[in-house]
Chain A
Amino acid sequence: MNTILTVTNLTKKFGALTAVSDLSFIIEKGNVYGILGPNGSGKSTTLGIVLNVVNKTSGEFSWFDGQTSTHEALKKVGAIIERPNFYPYMTAIQNLKLVCKIKEVPETKIEEKLELVGLLDRKNSKFQTYSLGMKQRLAIASALLNDPEILILDEPTNGLDPQGIHQIREIIKKIASQGTTILLASHLLDEVEKVCSHVVILRKGKKLYSGSVDTMLASHGFFELRTKKEKELLDYLEGNSSFGSVKNIDGLITAYLNEDLQAEELNKILFEKGIILSHLSKRRESLEEQFLALTNNSSN
């Protein structure tokens, strides 16, 4: 039983607006998935549907190979969507006890999970007295109470200050390192790039890409070069089949690779040709650049 969630041709319409359109993907055990997309691309709606709070218009989804009903499956899932929702008049402990009752798990793990998110010393404070960061951390503790098979996070760092963002990321990394499957929805790409092994990219409810991050970044990277002999360098690069497009912006020459080439090797060749570089760096496109390329292409 390695498939955790299967989504097939899922569609959700809000009146005339199609929030999610014919979406299919599979979540497998042990991977860390990112759902990427600009605001309003249908990330939260998709998660809302699989989490039983939004009704689908058409399509199917099934948890754990469809062996259990959705609400039974959700007891094995930990999820935090958008803002943390707890009873404001109840303390952290009371709120978590309620969650234990709903998930039908013993209350023995409450202290342990509060410790993990660093809220143990505030366990008897009412939820309404918490700062946003603390609320978010309590939500994570609550989602972990059942030691879930999969943890679903929707914009977990939204609205937090830098320390808060850092704390949440550290917690996510810690959980990911323990082998828990994670599904992280975000529009913050560096966040996804840092923790995810697989991504699903959405735009206006449609899937643009789904697969591993490595395949998505499968280009060979590019060189950034600077020299006094610009013309010779450009001639060489354009005449060499290893390179694709070459751009010259204010003397900074960017050359995209068609095949693998080490920086040392290029430096050596150019030096032998009498082209002396004042700047040489080899880089790969970041997820952000790839993402922008993908989302822009499809809008044209």
Chain B
Amino acid sequence: MIRLLQIEFIKLWNNRASKFLIFAYFGLILCMALIAMIKIDRPPIVFNIADQGIFNFPYIWHMNTWIASWLKLFFAIVIVSMMANEYSNKTIKQNLIDGLSKKEFLMSKFLMVISFSILSTIFVFLVSLVLGLLYSDFTEIAIIFSDLEYFLGYFVKLLGFFTMCLFLGLLVKRSAFALGFLILWWGIFENLIVRISAWKLFGKEGSESVMRFMPLEAMSNLIVEPVTKFKAVQSLSTQLGTDLSRDYAVHWYDLLIVLGWTAIFIYLSYALLKKRDL
């Protein structure tokens, strides 16, 4: 297993573009800390975002995992090209000839995806912890370590998404087309075709429960947007007489759906790899 990871690491680390993207990704996560610097100090408007309670434990866990999960799009480029380049450089052929089995080849990619997801999860946790310790109004241990399920949600969300990217890279063999395919899937397939036809067939409620099983929708359900949870927004909505509050929890069935898709994507990738002549 270590060997497979090392193989993948050599491939990735010596590629300048990938290295740049990896650094940029973690750099951007770090930049979340800069939100704390937003200050408007021009009387009569005095506004400091750090004072608004968004860095309070445990709210910060939800907030930061949600923001950081947007950055996964950025990382998708690395994953997709790491797969598609093996085809365009024909190095997958050479790898197999050199004695890597197809299973090992796929495993080395998947292990890399798992490692990224773990690393990213830990990184987001650390950045959030530091930010929270600096700005949170509550620093009791019990409060700090509550609501940590958002990190489980975050990890599974990344894992599922990156595995999907891996599969698309393998399926399409061209990184640009694979990314285009991903956007098409999200925009046209999930959100237009499936959503509208489910709406027509089963009504609003029924459409929600069908959508729940679509891969990208399931991933986004794992961490629901935290903005409406924010107390300033909530007080605003109460004044306007609307109720914006939703179910913010990370649900086990959403986790299961995404893990199911992860398994399906890995299986499909393996089946495709096995069937194809190179």
Q: A48-B277, A71-B100 are in contact. Are A102 and B7 (CB under 8 A)?
A: yes
Whether A53 pairs with B89 at a CB distance below 8 angstroms is no
In this assembly, does B42 line the interface, its C-beta being within 8 Å of a C-beta of chain A? no
Which of the residues A53, A70, A79, A142 comes within 8 Å of B277, measured between beta carbons? A53
Within 8 Å CB of A90, what residues of B? 10-11, 14-15
Q: How far is the CA of A86 from the CA of B277 in the complex (A)?
A: 19
Within 8 Å CB of A101, what residues of B? 3, 6-7, 10
Segment of A92-100, A194-202, A211-219, A241-249 in the binding face? A92-100
Segment of B26-34, B54-62, B90-98, B120-128 in the binding face? B90-98
Whether B90 pairs with A83 at a CB distance below 8 angstroms is yes
Whether A87 pairs with B6 at a CB distance below 8 angstroms is no
Whether B97 pairs with A55 at a CB distance below 8 angstroms is no
In this assembly, does A89 line the interface, its C-beta being within 8 Å of a C-beta of chain B? yes
In this assembly, does B1 line the interface, its C-beta being within 8 Å of a C-beta of chain A? no
Main secondary structure of the interface of B (DSSP, over half): helix
Whether B10 pairs with A74 at a CB distance below 8 angstroms is no
A32 to chain B, nearest CB (A): 20
Within 8 Å CB of B90, what residues of A? 83, 85
Whether B275 pairs with A87 at a CB distance below 8 angstroms is no
Q: A90-B14, A97-B10, A98-B10 are in contact. Are A51 and B96 (CB under 8 A)?
A: yes
A87 to chain B, nearest CB (A): 6
Q: How far is the CA of A55 from the CA of B271 in the complex (A)?
A: 13
Whether B7 pairs with A71 at a CB distance below 8 angstroms is no
Within 8 Å CB of A102, what residues of B? 7, 95, 98-100
A16 to chain B, nearest CB (A): 16
B276 to chain A, nearest CB (A): 8
B113 to chain A, nearest CB (A): 19
Which of the residues B93, B99, B100 comes within 8 Å of A85, measured between beta carbons? B93
B163 to chain A, nearest CB (A): 23
Within 8 Å CB of B100, what residues of A? 71, 102
Within 8 Å CB of A94, what residues of B? 10, 14
Contact with A along B1-39 (1 / 0, CB 8 A): 001001100110011100000000000000000000000
Question: Can you list 14 A-B pairs, Cβ within 8 angstroms, ordered by A?
Answer: A53-B277, A55-B274, A70-B101, A71-B96, A74-B98, A75-B98, A86-B89, A87-B15, A87-B91, A89-B15, A89-B16, A90-B11, A97-B10, A101-B10
* A-binding residues in B (CB < 8 A): 3, 6-7, 10-11, 14-16, 89-91, 93-102, 104, 274-275, 277-278
**Interchain residue pairs A-B with the least CB separation, the first 5:** A75-B99, A71-B101, A74-B99, A85-B94, A85-B90
Given pairs A77-B99, A101-B3, 17 additional interface contacts (CB within 8 A): A51-B96, A53-B93, A54-B277, A74-B96, A74-B97, A75-B98, A81-B97, A85-B89, A87-B91, A90-B10, A90-B11, A97-B10, A101-B7, A102-B95, A102-B98, A103-B99, A104-B99
